[in-house]
Amino acid sequence: MPSQPILIIDGHLDMAFNALHHRRDLTQDILTLREREDPKPPGPSHPDSLRERKRPESASRGTVTVSLPQMREGRVGIMLSTIMSRVQTPTPQLDDGMRNQLASHAIGQSHLHYYKALEREGQITFIRNSADLDASVAAWQNPDDNTPIGLILSMESADPILGPDQVQWWWDQGLRSVGLTHFGANTWGKGTGTRGGLFAVAYPLLDALAATDIALDLTHASDIVFWQLLDYWQGPVHASHCNCRALVPGQRHLSDEMIKAITDRGGVIGMVFAEAMLNPQLNFDNPDTWPQNARRPMSAVVDHIDHICQLTGNCNHVAIGSDLDGGFGREMAPIDYNTIADLQRFLDILADRGYSANDIEAIAHGNLLNFFRQAWS
């Protein structure tokens, strides 16, 4: 068991989406956020509640578990957090997609400016290169309640990028990881829940991305898109938030062949802490199998880590990509989890399962540090 808190890098959060789409002040602690939350009917409304003006289905967002104070409490000192706005016709399960790319671009701009506002207030600091990364790591060796959380800016669905000529601008703003697709089919190709490949317009975008040191995130690619991207892209690849298809069925997860392909290229795979990604009785492709509440503890995440480490023969390619604010809440998070500060307790679970101190540090932060240092070298 770690003798003191260990720096954690969370390889996938949706902080701007969480703040803007759900109207949450993430600079506040979790208890305050829960008190002010727009309740699910028929609960009483807090004076600040906007429930009467909300769509009924938006109550499904779940109980908030991620905020900046709780990240500091749990020493989650560095994060990959997204610009997340996709082009997608709304479905019964997902109603937050945009109907055209211009709208997606506008939403993406709002996410970027949210992070810039947080940086202006000293809440976070952008990490754009290895020097910034090293400075953030150093700051978290002896943090206090005001230590800014390091942000490696990522993009989940590349719809906010209007074309190849805009890639350099996004790079200059701090974008360092991009996943082309998300749920459904977007501007560039087919994503989770679809069959098919990249569209022709994706290849000039990939060429423009390759001219920078942006890492390509293979999460949310259809099976065909996954392999097309690996064949075409010669730069760094990772999967920011994916679990193992061998343990939980569904296209959303990675097959053993995919895991090997990513790790053979030096990539890192972030583990997701959502019931939909941990329950072997659930098929992500079939919403009828989705439970209403979580049934698995955090140790279920270790099963996926075990699988990848056994498949690759080491612990060098696994990280945390919790997605704990990604459109679900405490209800669908592990049953022994309350807030993101509990990720420190997850490291204790790794120790109880036999992982060495070096392996735990690698999973907590070391593997992602090595990945981005190599990508930016």
The pLDDT confidence band at residue 52, using thresholds 50, 70 and 90, is: very low
For 70-79, 82-91, 270-279, 359-368, which range has the lowest pLDDT when averaged over its residues? 82-91
pTM recorded for the entire structure: 0.93
Q: Which residue has the higher pLDDT, 47 or 199?
A: 199
So what's the pLDDT on residue 90? 57
| Contact indicator for 372, 215 with CB cutoff of 8 Å | yes
Mean pLDDT of the chain: 92
User: Rounded mean pLDDT of 196-207?
Assistant: 98
Check residue 41 and give its pLDDT.
Answer: 53
Name the band, by pLDDT with cuts 50, 70 and 90, for residue 290. Answer: confident
Q: 8-375, which class in CATH?
A: alpha beta
Beta bridge mates, 269: 239, 318
